[in-house]
Structure 1
Amino acid sequence: MTRSTRAVRWHGAGDVRLETVELSPPGPGEVLVAVAWCGVCGSDLHEVADGPHGIPVERPHPLSGAVAPVTLGHEFAGTVAAVGPDVDGVQVGGRVAVEPNYRCGRCTACREGRYEVCDGFGFAGLMGDGGLAEYALVPAYMVRPLPTGFDLAAAAVLEPAAVALHGIRRSTFAAGRAALVVGLGPVGLLVCALLREAGAAVVVGVDPVPARRDLATRLGATAALAPDEDVAATVRALTGGDGAHVAFEVVGAQATLDAALGSLRSGGELLLLGLVDRLTLPAFDMVNAELRLTTSVGYRDCHDELIELVSDGRLDLCALVTDVVALEDAPAALLRMAAGGSTGVKTLVRCGEETP
Structure 2
Amino acid sequence: MKAAVWHGARDVRIAETDVPTPGPDEVLIRVAYCGICGSDLHEYANGPHAIPTTAPHPASGVTAPLILGHEFCGTVAALGSSVADLAVGDPVAIEPNYRCGTCPRCQAGDYHICRHFGFAGLMGHGGLAEYAAVPRYMAHSLPAAVPLEQAALFEPASVALHALRRAESPRGSLAVVGLGPIGLLTVLLAARRGATRIIAVDVAPARLEIAARLGATDLVDASGGADAAAAVRGLTGGEGVDVAFEVVGSQAALDTCLGATRRGGRVVLVGLAQQVRLDAFALVNNEQSIISSVGYRDTYPELIRLVADEGVDLRPVVTSTVALKDVVDQGFEALLGGGGQIKVLVDPAPEAVATAPATHRAEAAR
Report if TM-score (shorter chain) is over 0.5.
Answer: yes
Deviation digits for residues 243-280 of structure 1 (CA, Å, limit 9, x no counterpart): 10000001111111011100111110011001111111
| Contact persistence 1:14–1:335 (CA under 8 A) | no
Q: Any conservation in 2 of the 1:38–1:349 contact (CA below 8 Å)?
A: yes
3-state secondary structure, aligned to 2:169 = coil
2:194 paired with 1:196: no
Amino acid at match of 2:209: D
Q: Secondary structure at the match of 1:109?
A: helix
Residue equivalent to 1:40: 36
Q: Which residue is equivalent to 2:308?
A: 311
Match of 1:130? Answer: 126
Match for residue 329 of structure 1 among 311, 314, 326? 326
SS of the residue aligned with 2:18?
Answer: strand
Q: Helix, strand or coil for the counterpart of 1:23?
A: coil
Q: Structure 1 unaligned runs (5+)? A: none
Q: How does 1:203-222 map to 2 (within 5 A)?
A: 203-222=198-217
Alignment check: 8 A CA contact 2:334 2:341 kept:
no
Q: Secondary structure at the match of 1:312?
A: helix
Q: CA deviation at 1:335?
A: 4.6
Task: For 2:336 and 2:76, locate their aligned partners in 1 and report how far apart those are by CA, in whole Å.
Answer: 35
The farther-off stretch of 192-201 and 85-94 is 85-94
Residues 43-58 of structure 1 aligned to structure 2 (within 5 Å): 43-58=39-54
Q: 1:6 aligns with which of 2, 6, 28?
A: 2
* Residues 1:35 and 1:122: Cα distance change in structure 2 (over 3 Å): same
Question: Could you tell me how far apart the structure 2 residues matched to 1:282 and 1:170 are?
Answer: 23
Distance (Å, rounded) in 1 between the aligned partners of 2:327 and 2:21: 26
How far did 1:210 drift? 1.4
TM-aligned CA deviation for residue 339 of structure 1: 4.9
Verify the 8 A CA contact 1:34 1:352 in the aligned structure 2.
Answer: no
Q: Is the 8 A contact 1:105 1:115 kept in 2?
A: yes
1:224-263 equivalences under 5 Å are: 224-227=219-222, 228-263=225-260
Task: Output the CA distance in 1 between the equivalents of 2:206 and 2:310.
Answer: 23
Is the alpha carbon distance of 1:149 and 1:196 closer, same or farther for their aligned partners in structure 2, counting shifts above 3 Å?
A: closer
Q: CA RMSD in A?
A: 1.6
Residue of structure 1 aligned with 2:268, choices 264, 271, 275: 271
Q: 2:290: which partner in 1? A: 293
The TM-score, its normalising length taken from structure 2, stands at: 0.92
Alpha-carbon distance between aligned partners in 1 of 2:279 and 2:46, rounded to the nearest angstrom? 31
Report the TM-score, using the length of structure 1 for normalisation: 0.94
Measure the CA separation in 2 of the matches of 1:107 and 1:353. Answer: 42
Deviation at 1:299, TM superposition (A): 0.4
User: What is the SS of the residue equivalent to 1:104?
Assistant: coil
**Which residue is equivalent to 1:96?**
92
Letter in 2 for 1:162: S
Cα distance 1:145–1:353, how it changes in 2: closer, same or farther (>3 A)? farther
Q: Tell me which of 16, 24, 30 is aligned to 2:26.
A: 30
Task: Give the conservation status (yes or no) of the 8 Å contact 1:64–1:127.
Answer: yes
**Does the 8 Å contact 2:335/2:342 carry over to 1?**
no
- 1:14 CA drift (Å): 1.1
Identity of aligned residues (%): 52
Q: Which amino acid aligns with 2:89?
A: G
SS of alignment partner, residue 329 of structure 2: helix
Alpha carbons of structure 1 residues 269 and 151: separation in structure 2 relative to 1, 3 Å: same
- SS for the counterpart of 1:332 is helix
User: Which amino acid in 1 is paired with 2:312?
Assistant: L
Q: Kindly indicate whether the alpha-carbon contact (under 8 Å) linking 1:132 and 1:327 is maintained by their aligned counterparts in 2.
A: yes
Could you say if the C-alpha distance between residues 24 and 133 of structure 1 is closer, same or farther in structure 2, counting changes exceeding 3 Å? closer
Q: 1:312 deviation in Å?
A: 2.7
Q: 2:17 is paired with a residue of what secondary structure?
A: strand
Q: 1:342 to 1:88 in 2, by over 3 A?
A: farther
The answer to whether the 8 Å contact 2:26/2:134 transfers is yes
For 1:81, the equivalent position in structure 2 comes to 77
Shift of 1:118: 1.0
Q: How far 1:311 moved relative to its partner?
A: 1.4
What letter is aligned with 2:205? P
Instruction: Tell me which stretches of 4 or more aligned residues in structure 1 moved more than 4 Å.
Output: none
Per the TM alignment, residue 24 of structure 1 is displaced from its structure 2 partner at its CA by 3.8
Residue of structure 1 aligned with 2:341, choices 324, 344, 354: 344
Aligned to 2:137: 141
Taking a change above 3 Å as real, the CA distance of residues 212 and 124 of structure 1, as seen in their structure-2 partners, is same
Output the CA distance in 2 between the equivalents of 1:293 and 1:22: 46
- The amino acid that maps onto 2:155 is E
Task: Rate the CA distance shift 1:342–1:111 in 2: closer, same or farther, 3 A.
Answer: farther
Q: What is the deviation of 1:316?
A: 1.3
Q: Which runs of 5+ in 2 are unaligned?
A: 352-366
Matched letter for residue 324 of structure 2: L
Aligned length: 349
Structure 1: which amino acid aligns with 2:199?
Answer: V
